[in-house]
Amino acid sequence: MLKVDNVKKAFGPVTVLDGVNLTIKPGEVVSILGSSGSGKSTLIRCINGLERLNGGRITVDDFDVGKPKELSEARKRSATVFQLFNLYPHMTVLGNVTLAPIEVLKKPRAEADATARALLQSVGLGDRADAYPAQLSGGQRQRVGICRALAMQPRYLLLDEVTSALDPEMTAEVLAILAKLAAEGTTMLFVTHEIEFARQISNRIVFLDKGKLLVDLPTAEFFAAEGGMANPRIAQFLSKMRKD
Amino acid sequence: MRFSDFTPFDIWLLLQGLGVSLGLFLSTSLIGLLIGTSWAVCRFYRVPVLTPVITFIAELLKNSPVLVQLFLVFFGLPGLLHIRITPTTAAMITLSANSAAFVYVIAVSAIESIGRDQIEAARVFGLTRWQVLRHVVAPQAMAFAIGPLTALLVNQLQVTSLISVIGVVDLTKIGNILNLRTLKPFIVWTVVGLLYYVCAKLLAWLGARFENRLRAHAAWRGL
Amino acid sequence: MRFDLSILLPHLGFLAQGALLTAEACALALIGSVIMGAFVAIARTSSSALLRRISFVYVDIFRNVPFIVQLFFFYYGLPEIGIYIDAFTTGVVALSIAGGAYASDVIRAGILAIDPGIIEAAEVSGLSRRVTFTKIVLPIALRTSVRPLGSVLINMILTSSILSTITLNELTGSAQIVVSQTYRPFEVYVVLLVVYALLTYLVSLGIALLHRRLNRDMMEAVA
């Protein structure tokens, strides 16, 4: 279980997360929605330990990310896919996917390679294993990013606006893969602007506004008039997004 | 040769050596600056025969060791031209030429950093080439070049230490003398190194201050 | 005024040996500088304020004290504390330490230029600091640093001429011996000058090639 417990985070005088509570059970697919600056990405960065908390606690399977000794265990259980891909430019696609399994999980090279190739095959990049990131399109790079995360066999997959840097066509190919993962039972927490997509594959939707968690509802209820839409902020947000 | 400890007179010796080093550094830097910028102006005006020759000489001077240049001037020229030449004169010639080559490169890049469009605009308004140089190019080029020039001068200060090899009694040569006499290399060379270090830092600080003044002049003051 | 290069012919073999020694010393010192530079660069970008301070002081000192003073410090000083090493090793050590100071600046710039997102990706996947440095940071930083490190190497080749002052018979030292045998300093030193310039030119060509090859995979494909 991934527990976010009354988390507070400030950058200098600006409070970005203000008492956020969230629990994710294995198998759930949870989307975090909200406007820019609401703290969505910061929340993910707190969960994977890139940002230090100013208050509250986050535990991944009972490992506290705030405690240095438990952080590495917590990180082994989650994997992150980034908005800007963050692939290692000097390594091949295969190298990118196998680096952490070999160095952190101590898998033998042959096994890591086999797993990596299978993953790349499943996202349609089986023949590009020896290419370098610079030679791939944005959508292909993000697919490599997803494989890199999955190669660690994480219990929780964290996705930080993974299609925001892609054009519509590439966005569709990446979303297709994420939908498949969700259907297969992968636990996912993702921050996204793709409302329709979130609606289709999530179990729950969480809405953040100015650092506060306004609602945390099952998908159907979130989009219902008496549920999420009853909240004026949410209604305003959804109508703005739909218009674009 | 007597082996003895340090005496207060040694401080005077060190200061004398430092004086020689600084004197040569300042004079050769000045000459190098003048020659180097005039070479760059030559290139700016695209003088036909001179420019490629200058570029060739500058490249040669930049890409060969200063020590070898010193040997060439001090040992080579007298043999060739049947003249006598003192170590100091040889040092002056070599270091000036060497500095000029590096100044040339910096000046060229500083001048080229000023967009052609500004120069064209000035010419269209009727300014002569000389006026353009004086009012448009020079001030901006100077502000641009101060940073690299300061770094160059700090480097040339270190380079002066090589003149000790051809016999000029500069700070390094005094260091050699003291080292031979007292046989305390750690103390001698640390003190010599410290003196060079302090001068280098002073030079860098002066350069930074001068740059701030120049840039303040060039800063946009608003309407 | 006579200028006759043919008198150098019988001595070409000897000069070639000197050139080989220069090449050996510079190759070893390059490796030493890069290793030293990598460590110092990591120290300068570390989160420990103490490490940052110490490494900054090291770089500051060895960039602002003349190389010949550093060389004499080691050559005359080390025997005093019981370390007896030959001139070649002393020279390589001195070149490595001085070169390391410049190399560390270059590598540090390369490290700082790495997209922080890449480091974050490495961090969250659980890679240790050591692995992140050896498999991600350094490989990327070194690839982008090839050109400026090439300048460090070229500088080192020119600086290596100073090793002749501690009785090492590298290229310049050998040339001095040839002068004493032929009594033709001008010819010898002119040739020496050109040889060094050629050497540095070839090295710069090699560096450009190496840079292209290493960064080939990282360059964006033009659509």
Coil vs helix vs strand at B19: helix
The answer, for B138 touching chain C at a CB cutoff of 8 Å, is no
How much is the average pLDDT of C125-148?
A: 90
For testing the chain B interface, which of C8, C73, C204 should be mutated: the one with the most B CBs within 10 Å? C73
CB contact at 8 A, B103 and B36? yes
Arithmetic mean of pLDDT, C200-221:
85
pLDDT tens digits, residue range B88-115? 999 999 999 999 999 999 998 888 888 7
CA distance B74 to B60: 18
Tell whether the model's pLDDT for residue C1 goes beyond 70: no
- C174 to chain B: closest CA residue: B68
DSSP class of residue A127? G
Number of structural domains in chain A: 1
Q: Which fold has domain B8-218?
A: MetI-like fold (1.10.3720)
Percent of chain B with pLDDT over 70: 95
- C39-78 residue pLDDT tens: 999 899 888 899 999 999 999 999 999 999 999 999 999 8
Coil, helix or strand at residue B74: helix
* CA atoms of C68 and C70, how far apart (whole Å): 5
- Segment B199-218 shows an average pLDDT of 85
Q: Is the pLDDT of residue B169 over 70?
A: yes
Return the bridge partners of A205, or none. A31, A217
Instruction: Return the closest-CA partner of residue C165 out of C61, C32, C74.
Output: C74
Please state the rounded mean pLDDT for residues A110-136. Answer: 93
Which pair of tokens denotes residue C195?
């040889």
For C25-60, letters b (16+ CB in 10 Å) and e give bbebbbebbbebbbebbbbbbeeeeeeeeebeebbe
A66: exposed, middle or buried (Cβ count in 10 Å: 0-12, 13-18, 19+): middle
- pLDDT tens track for A208-233: 888 888 888 888 888 887 777 888 88
* A236 compared with A120, residue with greater pLDDT: A120
Element (H, E) at A14: strand A14-24
- For chain C, the residues whose C-beta falls within 8 A of a C-beta of chain A are 115, 117-118, 120-128, 131, 135-136, 139-140, 143, 217-221
Q: Are A139 and A174 contacting, i.e. CB atoms less than 8 angstroms apart?
A: yes
Distance from CA of C132 to the nearest CA of A (A): 10
The predicted-structure confidence for A125-181, as pLDDT tens digits, reads as follows 999 999 999 999 999 999 999 999 999 999 999 999 998 889 888 888 899 999 888
Candidates A122, A123, A120, A115; CA nearest to A131 is A120
* Contact residues, chain A to chain C, C-beta under 8 Å: 48-50, 72, 75-76, 78-80, 82, 84, 86-90, 99-100, 103-104, 132, 134-135, 148-149, 152
Q: What is the pLDDT of residue B111?
A: 84
Distance CA A124, CA A170 (A): 13
Whether B197 contacts chain C with CB within 8 A:
yes
Give B60's contacts in chain C (Cβ within 8 Å): 193-194, 197
Name the amino acid, one letter, at A233: R
Only one residue has tokens 């060039």, namely: B218
- Ramachandran quadrant class, A23 (left: phi over 0; alpha: psi -120 to 50; beta: rest): beta
Best interface-test mutation with A: which of C115, C120, C123, C125 has the largest number of A CBs within 10 A?
A: C125
Q: Which two tokens stand for residue C85?
A: 């090493």
d(Cα A19, Cα A209) in Å, to the nearest integer? 12
Question: Which pLDDT does position B139 carry in this prediction?
Answer: 81
Helices and strands per DSSP (H, E), number in chain B = 10, 0
Percent of chain A with pLDDT over 90: 46
Q: Which residues of B touch C192 (CB under 8 A)?
A: 64, 68, 71-72
3-state class (DSSP) for residue B110: helix
Residue B189: closest CA among C82, C65, C44: C65
Tracing tokens 């695209």 back to the chain, one arrives at B46
- Domain residue ranges in chain C: 22-218
In one-letter notation, the amino acid at residue C119 is I
User: How far is the C-alpha of C160 from the C-alpha of C171, rounded, in Å?
Assistant: 9
Range list of β-strands (E), C138-188: none
- Residue linked to tokens 């420019």: B51
Look over chain B and give the mean of its residue pLDDT values, rounded to a whole number: 88
Going by DSSP bridges, is the β-strand pair A204-209/A212-218 parallel, antiparallel, or unpaired? antiparallel
CATH of the domain at A198: 3.40.50.300
A89 and C121 within 8 Å at the Cβ level: the answer is: no
Does residue A50 fall inside a structural domain? Answer: yes
- C162–chain B Cβ distance below 8 A for any pair: yes
pLDDT at C223 over 50: no
Higher pLDDT, C97 or C10: C97
Q: Which domain holds residue A212?
A: 2-83+155-243
Q: Rounded to two decimals, what is the model's pTM?
A: 0.81
Q: Which residues of B touch C82 (CB under 8 A)?
A: none
Domain residues of chain B, as ranges? 8-218
pLDDT at residue A38, as a whole number = 78
Bridge partners (DSSP) of residue A59 are A3, A64
The topology under which CATH files domain C22-218 is: MetI-like fold (1.10.3720)
